[in-house]
Structures are given as structure tokens and as C-alpha cells.
């Protein structure tokens, strides 16, 4: 290949040098011997680069591409796990609210039944039973709200630890729990016990 290049370029070089003798600067003059050595040096440099430089460079680029692909895959997997945890968290929170509503409903029914029984037994007895029912309702409501808060706290810490893949300090856990509890609307449940 280099021999073919020399055979085709040599007549062109000779023709170019014959017509350009005296009016050109020495930097622009075509010197056939210099051109041949320049082409040979360029060819040797290309062969050396092809044999010793390109393989490590392409290997490094391939490794970098694989690392990026692995990072993207890992990020997608982490995101899907976080989505699953969030869905589970929401489902558990809904179940806890339903349980709290059921407890409150049962407590109301019990209070109403107690109230009707107390009316037949007498005014004083009725007031004692209504008060006991109220205490039961408040205790059950507090217990239900506490259970919901504990569940929210546990799920928040669990979800955060899974998403961040590290254990949280006690201060971080406390802060996350407080933020999660502020976001959950307990006012509707707490307001029902006053009815």
C-alpha cells in the first residue's frame, strides 16, 4: 500500500517541482525527498498508534460505556424498588385508617347501646356508662392514632433506608418520622371522637 502511494504521487511531485523553482519561498517549495520521508514517517506513526495506542483506548472506552450502562440499570432498579415501597406504604396507611374508622364505629355503636341501656336503668347510671364509653372511645382512638403514627414512622424509615441504601441515625429517623406525621391528616380521626 505505501509503495502504491509512492508510485502514484511521485510523478505528481516531480511535475510540481519542475514548474515551481524560483518564485516560491523555501517553505512552500515541494521537495520530493522530504515528502517521501514525511509520508513514510506518517505511515510508521499510524502503524505504531494502531498497534499500541488504539487497543487500550478502545478498551477503556468500552469499560466506561459498560460502567454507565450498569449505573443506569442500577438506578432504574432502585427507582422501581422505591415505587414498590411507596405503594406498600400507601396500602398499609389506608388499611390503618380503615381499622381506625372501624374501631371508632364500633366504639360509637357501643356508646349508643350503652346510652340506651343507661336510659332505662336511670339517669345516674346512664351518665356513668356514657362517661365510661367516652373514655373507651378516647382510649381506642388514642391507641388507633398511636398505632397509625407508629406504622407511618416505621414505613417512612424503612422506605428511606431502602431508597438511600444506608442506615439512618436516630436523629435522622426522628426528623423523618416527624415530617411524615405532619403530612398525615390525623385531624379527621381526632375530630370524630368529640362527636
**Smallest Cα–Cα separation from 185: which of 66, 97, 58, 111?**
97
- Using the Cα atoms of residue 110, residue 112, residue 115 and residue 121 in order, give the sign of their dihedral: negative
How many residues appear in the chain? 195
CB under 8 Å to 4, separation ≥6 — which residues?
none
Q: What is the pLDDT along the chain (195 residues), one digit of tens a residue?
A: 555 555 665 555 555 555 445 556 667 777 888 889 999 999 999 999 999 989 999 999 999 999 999 999 999 999 999 899 889 989 988 988 898 888 888 888 888 887 777 676 677 777 888 888 889 898 888 888 888 777 777 777 777 766 675 666 778 777 777 777 777 665 655 555 444
State the pTM of this model: 0.34
Q: Which helix (H) or strand (E) holds 104?
A: helix 54-121
Q: Which helix (H) or strand (E) holds 37?
A: helix 32-48
What are the sequence ranges of the domains in the chain?
A: 78-192
| pLDDT value at residue 195 | 47
Amino acid at each position: 500500500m505505501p509503495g502504491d502511494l509512492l508510485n502514484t504521487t511521485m510523478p505528481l511531485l516531480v511535475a510540481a517541482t519542475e514548474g515551481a523553482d524560483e518564485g516560491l519561498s523555501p517553505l512552500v517549495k515541494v521537495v520530493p525527498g522530504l515528502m517521501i520521508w514525511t509520508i513514510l514517517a506518517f505511515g510508521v506513526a499510524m502503524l505504531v498508534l494502531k498497534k499500541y495506542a488504539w487497543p487500550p483506548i478502545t478498551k477503556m472506552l468500552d469499560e466506561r460505556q459498560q460502567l454507565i450502562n450498569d449505573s443506569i440499570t442500577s438506578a432504574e432498579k432502585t427507582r422501581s424498588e422505591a415505587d414498590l415501597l411507596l405503594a406498600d406504604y400507601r396500602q398499609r396507611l389506608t388499611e390503618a385508617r380503615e381499622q381506625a374508622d372501624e374501631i371508632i364505629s364500633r366504639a360509637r355503636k357501643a356508646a349508643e347501646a350503652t346510652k340506651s341501656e343507661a336510659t332505662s336503668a336511670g339517669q345516674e347510671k346512664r351518665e356513668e356508662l356514657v362517661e365510661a364509653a367516652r373514655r373507651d372511645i378516647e382510649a381506642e382512638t388514642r391507641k388507633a392514632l398511636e398505632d397509625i403514627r407508629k406504622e407511618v414512622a416505621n414505613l417512612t424509615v424503612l422506605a428511606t433506608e431502602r431508597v438511600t441504601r444506608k442506615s439512618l441515625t436516630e436523629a435522622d429517623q426522628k426528623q423523618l418520622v416527624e415530617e411524615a406525621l405532619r403530612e398525615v391528616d390525623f385531624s379527621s380521626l381526632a375530630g370524630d371522637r368529640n362527636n
